Amino acid sequence: MTAATGFVYDETYLRHRPGESHPERPARLEAIVQRLNQTGLINELTPIAPYKAPVSWVEKLHDAEYIKKFQAACARGASIFMVPDCGICPESYEVALLAVGGVFAAVEKIMDGAVANAFCAVRPPGHHAERARALGFCFFNNIALGAAYLLERYGLERVAIIDWDVHHGNGTQRLFEDDSRIFYLSLHEDPQFCYPGTGFRREQGRGPGLGFTLNLPLPMHSGDQEYLRALTQEGLPRLKKFAPQFVLLSAGFDAHEDDPLAHQEVTRQGYRAMGRMLLELARDYAQGRFLTVLEGGYNLMVLADCVEDHVRQLISAARGQIDP
Ligand SMILES: [Zn+2]
């Protein structure tokens, strides 16, 4: 196994401006990059240059008409797209394509063996985006497109997507609900009280995909104990049974106790514990192939702390040792 961890980032990602005082702001990525520089971790990472994803690939999961509408809204200087929380600027379309292409580039490097795993510090985030619907700060579903890329370009048959963002990844679930090649596991705050209001336990996939969606909603104010219990007792046994060939992580750090957008109480240590379990899963079943894609996380200090920890874990895992 190669001993490197890839890091996808480009200053262009700062140019998606969803509006003054919007929580999904460019400073999120600046805080991450600043921390990786301050700690010197950046020097241990292999930079991966993102590229603009070809529209033909984005069309694998999003309607052509939807893509055109998004492009046109940006071109005419609209300030929102489809819903009020999806703020845009003229460059948002290009930046969103670069976010998808960042995930593609990381997939390529991992599958080619140039790196063992990677972290994608991309924005806008993606897990709420549906086939023809922008939602929850998301336009194109970065991680879902990455999974589609693994299936179609590399012929993988079993890809796991774990989503620990505090919000349910309605987009990712919908896009693969009838596909048994993708196992989607989401840990999120009780949808009765939390955006986007989906992700009930009864949602388990459809048709051939029935049983390949596992929603583990957790009551408001759940912390490390509840998250780790859900993952250990229910999530991991199912993931092991699925035996993924590649593990994708939708990493939102907004279940942290100090995040302003939700009501969960996960700590930095809790995120580390979950990270270790998933990296062990990838080591045992997927030849260590693990790709993390940033989703939410709106407290800049918490985001920097948690990403620093997670990146340290990726680096250790790439070297064959998984840190606690
Ligand atoms: Zn979120």
What are the DSSP calls for 171-238, one per residue?
Answer: HHHHHHTT-TTEEEEEEEE-TTTSTT----TT----GGGTTSEEEEEE-TT-BHHHHHHHIIIIIHHH
42-70 pLDDT, tens digit each: 999 999 999 999 999 999 999 999 999 99
Decide if 120 is inside a domain.
Answer: yes
User: The domain spanning residue 49 has which CATH number?
Assistant: 3.40.800.20
Q: What is the pLDDT of residue 3?
A: 87
Tally of domains in the chain: 1
Q: What is the pLDDT of residue 1?
A: 47
Give me ligand 1 centre to Cα 51, in Å.
Answer: 25
The answer to whether the predicted template modeling score (pTM) of the entire model surpasses 0.75 is: yes
* Mean pLDDT, the chain cut into blocks of 10 residues (324 residues total): 88 97 97 98 98 98 98 98 97 98 98 98 98 98 99 98 98 98 98 96 98 98 98 98 98 97 96 98 98 98 98 97 78
Decide if 46 is inside a domain.
Answer: yes
Two tokens at 317?
A: 């895992």
The answer to whether residue 127 is catalytic is no
Give me ligand 1 centre to Cα 26, in Å.
Answer: 16
63 vs 133: CA distance, rounded Å: 9
Decide if 236 is inside a domain.
Answer: yes
Give me ligand 1 centre to Cα 163, in Å.
Answer: 10
Give me ligand 1 centre to Cα 165, in Å.
Answer: 5
Which residues have their alpha-adjacent CB atom under 5 A from ion ligand 1?
A: 165, 167, 252, 254, 296
17 vs 89: CA distance, rounded Å: 6
Q: What is the pLDDT of residue 2?
A: 61
Give me ligand 1 centre to Cα 278, in Å.
Answer: 19
- Of 208, 212, 110, which is closest to residue 153 (Cα–Cα)? 110
Provide the domain limits for residue 81: 5-318
Give me ligand 1 centre to Cα 2, in Å.
Answer: 32
Decide if 9 is inside a domain.
Answer: yes
Q: What is the pLDDT of residue 322?
A: 81
Give me ligand 1 centre to Cα 113, in Å.
Answer: 31
Q: Which long-range contacts (C-beta less than 8 Å, at least 24 apart) are formed by 227-233?
A: 227/164, 227/187, 227/255, 227/264, 227/266, 227/270, 227/274, 228/270, 228/273, 228/274, 230/187, 231/187, 231/274, 231/277, 232/277
Decide if 136 is inside a domain.
Answer: yes
Decide if 308 is inside a domain.
Answer: yes
Characterize the bridge pairing of strands 290-294 and 213-218: unpaired
Decide if 323 is inside a domain.
Answer: no
83-125 pLDDT, tens digit each: 999 999 999 999 999 999 999 999 999 999 999 999 999 999 9
Decide if 324 is inside a domain.
Answer: no
Give me ligand 1 centre to Cα 158, in Å.
Answer: 25
Which residue is catalytic, options 16, 62, 127, 128? 128
